[in-house]
Amino acid sequence: MRKPALPDEILLRIQQPARYIGGEINMCVKDPKSVDIRFAMCFPDVYDIGMSHLGIQILYEMFNRREDVYCERVYSPWTDLDAIMKKERIPLFALESQDPVREFDFLGITLQYEMCYTNILQILELSGIPFHAADRTWEDPIVIGGGPCAYNPEPIADFFDLFYIGEGETVYFDLLDAYKESRRLGESRTIFLKRAARISGIYVPSLYDVSYHADGTLKSFTPNCPEAPAKVQKQLVMDMAGSFYPEKPLVPFIKVTQDRIVLEIMRGCIRGCRFCQAGMVYRPVREKNVDELKHLAYQMLKNTGHEEISLSSLSSSDYRSLEELVSFLIETFHGKGVNVSLPSLRIDAFSLDVMSKVQDVKKSSLTFAPEAGSQRLRNVINKGLSEDDILNGATEAFKGGWNRVKLYFMLGLPTETIEDMEGIALLSEKIAAAYYDLPKESRNGRVQVVASTSFFIPKPFTPFQWAKMCTKDEFLERARVVNQKMKEMRNHKSLKYNWHEADVSVLEGVLARGDRRVAAVIEEAYRNGALYDAWSESFRNEVWMEAFRTCGVSPEFYTTRERSLDELLPWDFIDTGVTKEFLKREWQNALEEKVTKNCREQCAGCGIRRFGGGVCYEDPN
């Protein structure tokens, strides 16, 4: 029987001991002595979140199909265990073998959101691995980062030996082979890193030198050895038909955030919303084959016993075989104890019909994401959702028995005016009024419209990457304007307004567009107790603000400063395939309130066509 790394006495006094014992259904069991490479795959947040992540499930099964690799999992110990492990000096371990992480060849850390950065340092500290890549030896694993935040790895560049830029399915095996070869030849760690740098998509921060202008902006960013390319190419799976997908996902004992099968139907998004990083970096849209998906759904349900299956993509309504797939799933599984859940669908006749089949209309709500309160501002952000779309969709839904609507907006978008802010309340009111316009007999009690706003954070590789971000006070003032207007609405009793915390948005803004100098702040904040910053109950803004002061780094330099179009940006060394010229053009279009058509209507010439596949080459018929 596998013996846990932690003694019973600890496991029985912490919350959810099942987070730390492994042994889940479909866990890969290998003899660590029989493999050449031990890979610890880490999601730097609590198990419940990390186990819900699709990317790790894909790479876990893909790596473990290789006989010479044993891929295991690591998550952040929750704060209760974190304190115990630090006090009793217990090294962090991987779930499968329960062996210390430091004994592994690789520690791979997925970077899904900026607010997990202090948890990376927690993982390193508990593992006994030096924070700085420069201080590591062959006694330590190679620490590699990947995932969306790797598109601007600079704020955490000091902590990583390598970054993998793009989708993990393409060159990871090349990297593992290079590692094996390097170790066989007895090469130094530096030589191995240079070997790795020659693999397309691999970024080795230590092989680049950075200098700054007197005003603090980036002056130069250059390779310091011939092996390191001037531009690192994003990696993409271009053949979705042959791409790897896990048929036996892990089944946790405890109820995790995604306690269901996640069936990825498509990568990328045709819409081109100008604030959305995913919509830019995952271009071009690549659809998966519907017959393959049907087969996968069946296999995955059989192998996990999950009672729910959910479709995953950035915009499921744009998947061209959606009707066929959804009808298949409902006919095959619904009524057999398997729920079909459908996130991010455009509200129209088809989706309302499907929703009425798979959800209890009385208990479910409609979700719209207009993102901005006025048509003018929706044109600025290129969000192709009109007021008519929303009101017609809502009215149809109200006739079908729904009476709850959720609306998502952003505040602080470029060019935003008072009218745009008040538009959030006005749109909410119009939806409520549309409900009360229906004859009384076709209504179902009172309507409830809940509008939520988050604060806009400019992200790298979007047309808004140059934009000024609001200060905390500006954000809160804008939320106040919306809140005030909401109260003035005739149906204000049917409206509810929520807004996001502003402190954490400002910090996310710094981490999103930061450079290498931000690393010192992250380290200082962590040493002073910052951890689990993505969790509002543990986020401590004062610790961060103190860290900025101590390190002499100004958060405003990264947030409220509007960058000039010719400024060298910290992430410019990455080539995502979407050209900077396109982003500049889109930034200009935004300021001129010009809409750019989606990829299926008309090619906008973003540059991604050279990847040779996806929507750029779809048959228009």
Partner 1 sequence: MKIRIKFSKQGNMKFIGHLDTMRFFQKAIRRTGVDIRYSEGFSPHQIMSFAAPLGVGLTGSGEYVDIEVLSSGPSAEMVRRLNAAMAEGMEIISFKRLPDSAANAMSLVAACDYTVRLRPEYEDRLGAASEFFAGLDAFLESGDLHIMKKTKKGEKELDLRPLIFEHRPDEETGCFLKLSAGSAANIKPELVLETYCLAAGREYSPFAFQINRQEVYALQTDGDTKGRRFIPLEAFGEDIE
Chain residues binding partner 1 by CB under 8 A are 1-2, 4, 8-9, 11-13, 17-18, 21, 23-25, 251, 253-255, 301-307, 335-337, 339, 360
Is the CB of 341 or the CB of 344 nearer to partner 1? 341
Is the CB of 10 or the CB of 469 nearer to partner 1? 10
Q: Which residues pair with 166 in a beta bridge?
A: 235
Residue 47 Cβ vs partner 1, minimum distance, rounded to whole Å: 13
Is the CB of 25 or the CB of 418 nearer to partner 1? 25
Q: What is the DSSP string of 487-542?
A: HHSTTGGGEEEEE--SHHHHHHHHHHS--GGGHHHHHHHHHTT---TTSTTT--HH
Is the CB of 359 or the CB of 579 nearer to partner 1? 359
Cβ atoms of residues 613 and 238 within 8 Å: yes
Q: Please state, as a whole number, how many other Cβ atoms lie within 10 Å of the Cβ of residue 287.
A: 21
Report helix, strand or coil for 257: coil
Give the tokens for residue 375.
């048509």
Cβ atoms of residues 70 and 32 within 8 Å: yes
Residue 81 Cβ vs partner 1, minimum distance, rounded to whole Å: 13
Longest dimension (CA), the chain: 80
Residue 325 Cβ vs partner 1, minimum distance, rounded to whole Å: 21
Please tell me the distance from the alpha carbon of residue 61 to that of residue 19, in angstroms, as a whole number: 20
CA atoms within 13 A on the CB side of 580: 13
Please tell me the distance from the alpha carbon of residue 80 to that of residue 87, in angstroms, as a whole number: 11
* Helix, strand and coil in the chain, % to nearest 5: 40, 15, 45
E strands present in 457-502: 495-499
Is the CB of 22 or the CB of 146 nearer to partner 1? 22
Residue 51 Cβ vs partner 1, minimum distance, rounded to whole Å: 13
Residue 11 Cβ vs partner 1, minimum distance, rounded to whole Å: 6
What's the residue count for the chain? 621
Residue 361 Cβ vs partner 1, minimum distance, rounded to whole Å: 10
Q: Is the peptide bond before 284 cis (omega within 30 degrees of 0)?
A: yes
Cβ atoms of residues 342 and 355 within 8 Å: yes
Is the CB of 23 or the CB of 32 nearer to partner 1? 23
Is the CB of 8 or the CB of 592 nearer to partner 1? 8
Cα dihedral 232/233/237/239 (nearest 10): -150
Is the CB of 98 or the CB of 550 nearer to partner 1? 98
Give the type of residue at 328. Answer: F
Residue 274 Cβ vs partner 1, minimum distance, rounded to whole Å: 40
98 φψ region: left (φ > 0), alpha (ψ -120 to 50), beta (else): left
> In terms of Cα–Cα distance, which of 64, 54, 62 is closest to 29?
64
Is the CB of 276 or the CB of 301 nearer to partner 1? 301
E strands present in 336-460: 339-341, 366-371, 404-411, 448-455
Pairing of strands 286-287, 266-267: antiparallel
Is the CB of 3 or the CB of 440 nearer to partner 1? 3
Please tell me the distance from the alpha carbon of residue 58 to that of residue 75, in angstroms, as a whole number: 16
Q: What single DSSP character describes residue 450? A: E
Residue 456 Cβ vs partner 1, minimum distance, rounded to whole Å: 38
Is the CB of 8 or the CB of 441 nearer to partner 1? 8
Is the CB of 305 or the CB of 529 nearer to partner 1? 305
Please tell me the distance from the alpha carbon of residue 197 to that of residue 317, in angstroms, as a whole number: 39
Give the tokens for residue 421.
């802010």
Please tell me the distance from the alpha carbon of residue 46 to that of residue 155, in angstroms, as a whole number: 22
Cβ atoms of residues 318 and 285 within 8 Å: yes
Cβ atoms of residues 429 and 482 within 8 Å: no
Residue 253 Cβ vs partner 1, minimum distance, rounded to whole Å: 5
Residue 449 Cβ vs partner 1, minimum distance, rounded to whole Å: 25
Please tell me the distance from the alpha carbon of residue 101 to that of residue 123, in angstroms, as a whole number: 9
Residue 448 Cβ vs partner 1, minimum distance, rounded to whole Å: 21
Is the CB of 79 or the CB of 98 nearer to partner 1? 98
Please tell me the distance from the alpha carbon of residue 298 to that of residue 304, in angstroms, as a whole number: 10
Please tell me the distance from the alpha carbon of residue 50 to that of residue 111, in angstroms, as a whole number: 11
> In terms of Cα–Cα distance, which of 335, 332, 327 is closest to 351?
327
Residue 99 Cβ vs partner 1, minimum distance, rounded to whole Å: 16
Residue 100 Cβ vs partner 1, minimum distance, rounded to whole Å: 19
Give the tokens for residue 465.
């990457």
Is the CB of 27 or the CB of 450 nearer to partner 1? 27
Residue 368 Cβ vs partner 1, minimum distance, rounded to whole Å: 25
